[in-house]
């Protein structure tokens, strides 16, 4: 098995910046471009695995390319690419006590799984234990804009086959309520509407006031209403809220997931779905998912801005990692 893969001979990371079709606004700010990094792991047997560095806060994926080539790659040269656990131990030794490096580690993790799948001629989801389901319900995010523009975008997504939308909120209370009400009126009672405040509300009391104002519009869940480390307030809000609270920015890895569960801070978890970017690896992504299931806390996968490699229709594309790791993404 390993003889066909060879040994890791070269790891490169290429920064890529792509203009967005239209600017995307959330409580995190205005994004006009998508910035990420493409990681290639090459072996002396001629195989290449591809991964992606992608993130939407605390920096852009492209800036971590130098970390991949200068810090994470050297300890991996000469390693059997199937020894993914050893690769993570070496990367963790190279960069310790910093979650900021997780997206860079995740990109190498993806590339190694991609390479292994190619070497064995099998989808990566098979390497991770196989598919859990054949398909899932997908939604698209609605950028903060004038309510009429948000309604038009929601209608377009539903017309294209998406069964729900995630509406960005958190900048202006009156605008948010008006926009959500207009989208509900446009989609009718059957469309799924989630909202995402991206940490935009200042206090649990403010968040509860907003949530109560949105109750008439049949909201599925409220994502990350407060900053990530305010677990006590999030726990209070979860108990008081008539709508389930979902955490995203609060959960960067297994330890974060365990803390959130112990605090009772969420009814759901929306940890980033684009191939475990923030967790550093597919295995790390599975641990919070397992913890959440044990605590009866459902998981939802949330994607990063396009055009990520993880959305490409290649046989061993990295969305297959998500298929098994999150158990929530389709096997393309």
What are the extents of the domains in the chain?
A: 2-125, 136-281+288-312
Give yes or no for residue 322 having a pLDDT over 50.
no
208 C-beta neighbours (distance < 10 Å), count: 18
In the chain, what is the straight-line distance between the N-terminal and C-terminal CA atoms, in Å? 26
Q: How high is the pLDDT of residue 216?
A: 97
- pLDDT above 90 covers what percent of the chain? 61
From residue 283, give the alpha-carbon distance in Å to each of 137, 174, 210: 23, 42, 36
The whole-angstrom distance between residue 141's C-alpha and the CA centroid of its chain comes to 13
Q: Does domain 2-125 have CATH number 3.30.390.10?
A: yes
Q: How high is the pLDDT of residue 53?
A: 92
pLDDT tens-digit map of 241-271: 999 999 998 988 788 889 999 999 987 766 5
pTM value is: 0.80
The DSSP H or E segment spanning 32 is strand 29-43
Q: How high is the pLDDT of residue 262?
A: 93
Burial of 211 (0-12, 13-18, 19+ CB in 10 A): buried
Q: How high is the pLDDT of residue 318?
A: 36
Q: How high is the pLDDT of residue 291?
A: 52
180 C-beta neighbours (distance < 10 Å), count: 24
Buried b (16+ CB within 10 A) or exposed e, 41-73: bbbeeebebbbbbbbbeeebbbebbebbbeebb
pLDDT band with cut points at 50, 70 and 90 for residue 98: confident
pLDDT tens-digit map of 187-213: 999 899 999 999 999 999 999 999 999
Q: What would the two tokens of residue 6 be? A: 């060879």
State the CATH architecture for 136-281+288-312. Answer: Alpha-Beta Barrel (3.20)
Identify which has the larger pLDDT, 277 or 135: 135
Burial of 290 (0-12, 13-18, 19+ CB in 10 A): middle
């Amino acid at each position: 098995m390993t003889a066909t893969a060879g040994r890791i001979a070269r790891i490169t990371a290429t920064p890529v910046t792509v203009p967005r079709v239209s600017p995307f606004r959330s409580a995190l700010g205005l994004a006009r471009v998508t910035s990420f990094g493409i990681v290639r792991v090459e072996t002396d047997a001629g195989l290449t695995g591809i991964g992606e560095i992608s993130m939407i806060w605390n920096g852009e994926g492209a800036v971590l390319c130098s970390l991949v080539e200068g810090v994470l790659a050297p300890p991996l040269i000469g390693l059997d690419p199937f020894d993914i656990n050893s690769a993570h131990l070496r990367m963790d030794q190279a960069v310790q006590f910093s979650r900021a490096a997780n997206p860079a580690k995740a990109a190498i993790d993806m590339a190694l799984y991609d390479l292994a799948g190619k070497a064995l001629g099998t989808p990566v989801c098979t390497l991770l234990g196989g598919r859990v389901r054949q398909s899932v319900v997908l939604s698209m995010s609605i950028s903060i804009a004038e309510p009429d523009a948000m309604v038009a975008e929601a209608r377009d997504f539903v017309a294209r086959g998406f069964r729900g939308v995630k509406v960005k909120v958190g900048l202006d209370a009156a605008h948010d309520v008006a926009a959500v009400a207009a989208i509900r009126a446009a989609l009718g009672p059957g469309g799924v509407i989630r909202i995402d405040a991206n940490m935009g509300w200042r206090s649990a009391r403010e968040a509860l006031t907003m949530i109560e104002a949105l109750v008439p519009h049949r909201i599925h869940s409220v994502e990350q209403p407060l900053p990530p480390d305010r677990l006590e307030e999030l726990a209070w809000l979860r108990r008081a809220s008539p709508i389930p609270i979902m955490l995203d920015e609060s959960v960067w890895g297994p330890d974060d997931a365990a803390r959130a569960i112990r605090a009772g801070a969420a009814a759901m978890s929306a940890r980033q779905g684009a191939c475990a970017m923030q967790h550093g690896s597919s295995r790390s992504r599975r641990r919070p998912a397992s913890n959440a299931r044990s605590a009866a806390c459902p998981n939802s996968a949330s994607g990063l801005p396009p055009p990520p490699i993880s959305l490409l229709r290649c046989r061993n594309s990295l969305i297959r990692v998500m298929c098994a790791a999150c158990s929530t993404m389709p096997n393309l």
